[in-house]
Amino acid sequence: MNSKLWIALILAGLAVIACNKGFDRLIEPREYEDTTGVTSRTPKVLMLVVDGARGESVRDAKAPTLQSMQDHAIYSWHSISDTLSINATAWADLLTGVRKEKHRVTNKDFSGNRLQEYPVFFSHIKERDPSFRIGAYSSADSLGTMLITGADVNETFGNNDEAMVSSLLDELKIDTAGLVFGQFSGVAIAGNTYGYDISHPEYKAAILKADQQIGSIMTALKARATYEQEDWLVVVTSGKGGPFQIDPGEDDGTILSNTKVNTFTFFYSPRYTPNFIDRPYTGNRYSGKAVRLYGDNASNAVFATIEEGREDYNLADTNEVTISLKLKKNRTPYGDFSYTYPSVMGNNMSLDWWNNTGWNISLEGNGWGVHFGQNGKGFNMATAANIADGRWHDLTTVFLNRDNKRFIRLYTDGAFNREMDITQYGSFDTDAPLTLGFMPGNVTDNQRWLNAYITEVKFWRAALPDSVVANYVCSPELPSSHPYRDYLIGYWTCKDGFGGVFKDQSDSRHDFQIKGGYVWEDFSDLMCPTSATNLSQLVPQPIDVVRQVMNWLQIPADTRWKLDGRVWVTSYTGI
């Protein structure tokens, strides 16, 4: 017999034996949770818009329904709406999923819109599933009549929230309800009448009333006979906030401090684990007491000088030196931040462009720079960056030697601005005192006016490298670990808080003597703003709602829709 045939017969016999033998290795009996019901539930959406509800006010009002939803929500009290801050634009952002540059709803009457090209997202749902039931209930008539299309039911109620809620509750009793939309007007009406902050009792009461109505809607939702077979996403948000003057100490100068665009956003599902989206970082808090240095002549100016030990701060023609300080410009007498050469710090007593010796850090226009020169050899200025925003900035000047030449390098907030070859100007030594603030000059008085806070003044007998300059600009004070601390020959925090001197904390012990009618003033500001170019991308926006809803309904976003928003994610419970 053929050997191959013998092998085939043997293998067949073994297979028969194996098939007739019981399984020796069985999976041990155990309890398993059937999770198939989770994925087989029908996705549905409840979307509630509370117009005029400023996010931080809703948070501070401690609205109980929303608080109870936090454990199963992606949520933020710092979401941001469009800066136009009109209802029509806010509604269009929420319901089209694109910004005003596309939908063009920029007027209260909706004129000039492109809603045919960028329609309300209800039509996208209907395109995929014509039988999907959508019910829209708007307290504001203009929302339902001017914007909403594609809904099976589209009712408006003349700013009557109670009537809107009543009809919405009836919609929730319908078995086939798939997307239920409701819009509240009461909070916006209260804010417009009394003010958009809970310090106004009427506004707070309106927020709590809306929250109570949301609570009744949630109760009705969970009472649906088919609720256990359904998978509901609940969106609660506001289209825009409202004007309110916040405490100046809380104003970081960014869009996050614009109360008109401050909203709140909840994406809630019983299956969600919490994901709190906090206010993005915008800078370090910088606080203390400082003296405002100001004035344009010796009789009205507040300034400070070092007489004894002044020679230590001469630069000669070869000394390598780094001078840094923190400065906050205040507005000029003209109401802006543009200055014409007022002195910040230096030993140059006149700013005479033809007959002058010394160095001087000064303000120029919206920026700052350093004057330097020697009588007979010329006088010049190196300019740096714009600091005309009323915020704290770190200004650093480095004098260094390289390749038998001398250079000056300028940095603003740690970023390098400019380098100049200053070899030809010779020695900058003078007999003048080192001065903070006002210094006489040949420019007309009202142009030389200074109005600024100056703190954290440091004078190193060394040229600090770029990396060290950048690494410490956000420090509120000089840390003991600073690698060049031993090179300090002058360190004045200028935040002593009392007395008539700025104490020198270096070993030199040369104190600045404060001149004029000085006053120690409290300050608390943000320093070192975030490098994010668009803070609004770090928090939810109205345009995100459409993407979130479509993702929940398992409808892929079609590139033809050109949606602008994003999907916010979290983990799920029980999965």
Q: What is the pLDDT of residue 391?
A: 86
DSSP codes joined into one string, 251-269: --SSGGG-GGGEEEEEEE-
pLDDT of res. 233: 98
Cα angle for residues 264, 268, 270 (degrees, 5° grid): 155
Q: Does some domain include residue 198?
A: yes
Do 433 and 512 have their domain in common? yes
Long-range contacts of 145-148 (CB under 8 A, 24+ apart): 146/88, 146/109, 146/110, 147/88, 147/91, 147/92, 147/95, 147/105, 147/110, 147/115, 147/120, 148/95, 148/120, 148/122, 148/181
Residues 256-282 have pLDDT tens digits of 888 999 999 999 999 999 999 998 867
Q: Are residues 228 and 315 in the same domain?
A: no
- Statement to judge: residues 552 and 489 lie in one domain: no
Strand runs (DSSP E) across 426-566, as ranges? Answer: 434-436, 450-460, 488-492, 501-502, 512-515, 520-527
Specify burial of residue 257 (Cβ count, 10 A radius: 0-12, 13-18, 19+): middle
- In this prediction, residue 35 carries a pLDDT of 34
Closest by CA to 244, choosing from 292, 190, 185, 205, is: 190
Co-location of 344 and 486 in the same domain: yes
Beta bridge partners of 290: 521
Number of domains comprising the chain: 2
**244 and 322 part of one domain:** no
**Residue 9: predicted pLDDT:** 41
Which of 141, 138, 137, 183 is closest to 158 using CA atoms?
Answer: 141
Q: For the whole prediction, is pTM greater than 0.75?
A: no
Judge whether 169 lies within some domain: yes
Do 414 and 539 fall within a single domain? no
Residues 194 and 118 in one domain: yes
For the domain that residue 309 is a member of, what is the CATH number? 2.60.120.200
Distance, in Å, from the CA atom of 346 to the CA atom of 439, rounded to the nearest integer, reads 9
- Looking at residue 200, its pLDDT comes to 97
Tell me which H or E stretch contains 222. Answer: helix 201-222
Q: Is residue 572 part of a domain?
A: no
| Residues 339 and 290 grouped into a single domain | yes
Q: Which domain holds residue 422?
A: 285-525
Question: Does residue 315 sit in the same domain as residue 352?
Answer: yes
Residues whose CB falls within 8 Å of the CB of residue 514, separated by 6 or more in sequence, listed in order: 291, 302, 303, 304, 500, 501, 502
Domain-located, residue 571: no
Q: Is residue 22 part of a domain?
A: no
Give CA–CA dist 172/165, Å, rounded: 11
Q: Give the integer Cα–Cα distance in Å for 119 and 147.
A: 9
Residue (of 480, 482, 463, 487) closest to 472 by Cα position: 482
Domain annotation covers residue 575: no
* Cβ partners under 8 Å of residue 560, min gap 6: none
- CATH (domain of 99): 3.40.720.10
Is 570 part of a structural domain of the chain?
Answer: no
Tokens of 290: 């400082």
Closest CA to 265 of 551, 538, 572: 538
Whether 461 and 478 have beta carbons less than 8 Å apart is answered as no
Q: Are residues 244 and 260 in the same domain?
A: yes
Encode burial over 410-427: b for 16+ CB neighbours within 10 A, e otherwise.
bbbbbebbeebebeebbe
DSSP string spanning 373-392?
Answer: EETTTEEEEEEEEE-TTSSE
Show Cβ contacts of residue 335 under 8 Å, excluding neighbours closer than 6 positions.
Answer: none
Question: Is there a contact between 438 and 454 (Cβ–Cβ < 8 Å)?
Answer: no
Of 124, 74, 82, 86, nearest to 101 by C-alpha is 82
Residues 370 and 517 in one domain: yes
Q: Which residues of 540-551 are buried (b: 16+ CB within 10 A; e: fewer)?
A: bbbbbbbbbbbb
Q: What is the length of the chain?
A: 575
Instruction: Examine residue 70 and state whether it is found in any structural domain, yes or no.
Output: yes
Instruction: Kindly give the parts of the chain with pLDDT less than 70.
Output: 1-39, 249, 281, 283, 349-355, 440-448, 529-534, 574-575
304/269 same-domain check:
no
The Cα 390–Cα 336 span in angstroms is 10
HSE, CB side, 13 Å, CA atoms: give it for residue 392: 28
